[in-house]
Amino acid sequence: MDKSVVLGYSRIGPVLRRAWWPADAKPDALAGRHVVVTGASGGLGAGIAAGCARLGATVHLVGRDKDRLDESARTIRSSVAPATDLVTEVCDISDLDSVRDYAADLSGRISELHGLVHNAGVLPPERRESPQGHELVYATHVLGPSLLTHLLRPVLAADGDARVVWMSSGGMYTRPLDTTDIEATQREWSGTDAYARTKRMQVVLAQMWSDRMRVDHIAVHSMHPGWSDTPGIADALPGFHRVIRPALRTTEQGADTAVWLVSAPGGSVTAGASGVFWSDRRPRPLTYAPWQKETPGERARLWEAVGGAIGVDVA
């Protein structure tokens, strides 16, 4: 179905696959657990936050705009329950100083973190840079999430069964891992190219973080949500959105796998498949063509570039 793209990525995918995918989590699966969702002021982030809240989690909605986060929280409470435990927290994931401040503040308020969902995303119309001078798409999709993962590792480890989920995209299949011009300073700028390249980086980094965090009983996953009807898609790709809208998934359908990865029982398939790329609750291939597979040297160069940019040396 995925090779056909339309069948696998549209709303048809989850409708057909639901007949054989793993069972839903228990209604109180996340009771007493803390879950952080970045990019939670709307779209898939808000959908993931709502899904985790329904399962009893204290959900930390993270984004750049406090007013939008508060509105998102009000919407979730109206659809889940008025007493839903939601916390709105401002952090610009593209700004490494903001990430450091947020991680320090959160670590001082909670002792354990069960779920960290890297959902924040951008697709700007022209090349822009973060406050530290990094290309904005790379900073938002790769550098900020990597730094946040590193800084929150102690509270994730304290949970004993924590999950980190990177929200990638099926678009990552269109690009191999490219470490020759990571900051896009030499190539002609293309927002869709930057998006696809960094989404491929996320999948590779999820594997590499998984290798390093398994010792702390932290499972790290990447996934793609299919084509979902979100404000981000409508704003960034209006032509695509207009044409394909009848086939787009609902926000809940797009958020489903992320919620399931966070809430599935410990010791389940998700724990044993750390580092896997998921869609509709099933592992998916990382590549479809031989030329897309990265070499060990390319993986090492990506890890070194990211570590150097965020000032972290993780063995």
Q: Which residues are catalytically annotated? A: 195
DSSP symbol at 112? -
Single out the residue of 114, 3, 1, 139 nearest to residue 64, CA to CA.
Answer: 139
Of 200, 292, 258, nearest to 36 by C-alpha is 258
280: DSSP letter: T
| CA separation for the pair 217, 234 (Å, rounded) | 38
SS3 209: helix
Beta-bridge mates of residue 82: none
Name the nearest CA neighbour of 170 among 269, 287, 276, 282. 287
For 133-198, give the DSSP string: S-BHHHIIIIIHHHHHHHHTHHHHHHHSSEEEEEE--GGGGGS----SSTT-SSSPP-HHHHHHHH
